[in-house]
């Protein structure tokens, strides 16, 4: 269940960063294990579609804020959850006991929103690290996949350039085996995400940005990488991948190979030359947002046609 927050807001710094574009409501969602997760929602009225957003390793729900406001104005509600251990969510910061919890958390949100908006198609969008979770969530071996009308991946970290030095890997292994939860730095810098000065400043000043993680987080991340790299053949829903052309995090050729393995007959890959990893942080995001909207509009129209055929045949009334 989604419970509306009455008096809880993120730091004013991040509220100010929304620049007044659109408006979001804040909610808590309870995970299957009772853990409370922060959910930021840009609800469209009227609502033509629902989009569930999964953020990257260092980010949180507000990093999609301006793109979410753009989609909200076009009739698409966007719901972005802070991953457990990050952003505003509860649970030990930067920790992850089991990767399956993240998939279960996302499934809980999708199920709840699907039950509330049955007349609107539901899509999943994931950025960077979040693409690993989304790939498992949308694979054909999970029942929840049948309720999802399409998948969007933004600069998906299914294949990456960034790697830890051997000394850090050894440290992670030793701490994992000994149960030492002392956090280890995540090997990313603000300059990896964007070259936009205003967003660079936002990232540097973002007190909710996740900078460190435990050894078991890194181990579970590696498991997610392995499983998500194998999940493409099990994904047969419409899929759009939008990939930054100047990306120091994601390895392009690996993403292309993964894209080629998708079982979906409706799949698109768009590479934006000269743009850094976070497409949402580009100084001129109009082309990127336009492609998102055009793709979603096509999928919404296709869904409406399918529903019309279903009801005209009499099956929808049964």
pLDDT confidence band for 305 (50 / 70 / 90): low
CA 143 – CA 313 distance, rounded (Å): 25
Q: Is 221 part of a structural domain of the chain? A: yes
pLDDT tens digits, one per residue of 94-131? 999 999 999 999 999 999 999 887 789 999 999 999 99
At 253, is the pLDDT very low, low, confident or very high (cuts 50, 70, 90)? Answer: very high
Sequence-distant (6+) residues with CB within 8 A of 103 are: 133, 136, 137, 142
Answer whether residue 81 is part of any domain.
yes
**Strand-strand pairing, 267-272 and 239-244:** parallel
Q: d(Cα 64, Cα 53) in Å, to the nearest integer?
A: 8
Structural domain count, the chain: 1
At 124-175, the pLDDT tens digits run 999 999 999 999 999 987 889 999 999 999 999 999 998 889 999 999 999 9
Q: Assess contact for 36 and 89: CB atoms under 8 A.
A: yes
Domain with residue 84: its CATH number is 3.40.50.1820
Cα(117)–Cα(85) distance, integer angstroms: 28
pLDDT at 195: 96
- pLDDT digit string, tens, across residues 204-235: 999 999 999 999 999 999 999 999 999 999 99
314 has pLDDT over 60: no
What residues pair up with 122 in beta bridges, in sequence order? 50
Question: Pairing state of beta strands 122-127 and 184-185?
Answer: unpaired
d(CA 318, CA 315) in angstroms, rounded, equals 6
Question: Residue 148 domain-assigned?
Answer: yes
316: in domain = no
- 137, part of any domain: yes
Q: Which domain range does residue 216 map to?
A: 2-308
Residue 315 belongs to a domain: no
CB 196, CB 285: distance < 8 Å: no
Share of the chain above pLDDT 70, in %: 89
Would you say how long the chain is, in residues?
318
Residue 19 neighbours by CB under 8 Å, 6+ apart: 66
d(CA 203, CA 57): 13
Residue 89 lies in a domain: yes
DSSP string, the chain: -EEE-SS----HHHHHHTTT-S--EEEEEE-TTS-EEEEEEE--SS-SEEEEEE--SS--GGGGHHHHHHHHHTTEEEEEEPPTTSTT--SSTT--S-HHHHHHHHHHHHHHHHHH-TTS-EEEEEETTHHHHHHHHTSTTSGGGGG--EEEEES-TTSBS----HHHHHHHHHHHHHT----EE-S--HHHH---HHHHHHHHH-TTS--EE-HHHHHHHHHHHHHHHT-GGG--S-EEEEEESS-SSB-HHHHHHHHHH---SSEEEEEETT--S-GGG-S--HHHHHHHHHHHHHHHHHHHHHHHHHHHTTGGG-
Domain-located, residue 317: no
């Amino acid at each position: 269940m989604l419970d509306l927050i009455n008096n809880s807001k993120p730091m004013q710094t991040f509220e100010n960063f929304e620049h007044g574009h659109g408006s979001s409501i804040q909610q808590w969602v309870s995970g299957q294990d009772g853990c409370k997760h922060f959910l930021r929602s840009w609800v469209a009225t009227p609502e033509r579609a629902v989009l569930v957003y999964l953020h990257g390793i260092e980010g949180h729900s507000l990093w999609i804020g301006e793109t979410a406001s753009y989609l909200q104005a076009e009739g698409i509600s966007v719901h972005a959850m802070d991953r457990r251990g990050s952003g505003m969510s509860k649970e030990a910061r930067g920790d992850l006991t089991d990767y399956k919890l993240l998939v279960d958390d996302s499934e809980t949100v999708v199920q709840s929103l699907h039950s509330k908006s049955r007349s609107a198609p539901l899509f999943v969008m994931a950025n960077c690290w979040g693409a690993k979770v989304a790939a498992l969530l949308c694979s054909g071996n999970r029942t929840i996949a049948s309720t999802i009308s399409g998948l969007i991946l933004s600069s998906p970290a299914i294949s990456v350039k960034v790697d830890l030095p051997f000394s850090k890997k050894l440290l992670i292994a030793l701490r994992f085996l000994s149960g030492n939860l002392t956090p280890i730095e995540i090997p990313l810098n603000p300059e990896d995400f964007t070259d936009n000065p205003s967003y660079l400043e936002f990232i540097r000043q973002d007190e909710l940005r996740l900078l460190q993680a435990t050894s078991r987080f890194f181990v579970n991340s590696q498991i997610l990488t392995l499983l998500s790299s194998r999940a493409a053949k099990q994904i047969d829903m419409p899929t759009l991948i939008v990939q930054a052309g100047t990306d120091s995090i994601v390895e392009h050729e690996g993403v292309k190979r993964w894209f080629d393995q998708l079982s979906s007959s409706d799949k698109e890959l768009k590479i934006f030359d000269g743009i850094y990893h976070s497409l949402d942080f580009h100084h001129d995001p109009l082309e990127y947002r336009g492609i998102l909207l055009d793709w979603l509009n096509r999928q919404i129209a296709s869904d409406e046609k399918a529903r019309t055929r279903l009801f005209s045949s009499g099956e929808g009334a049964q």
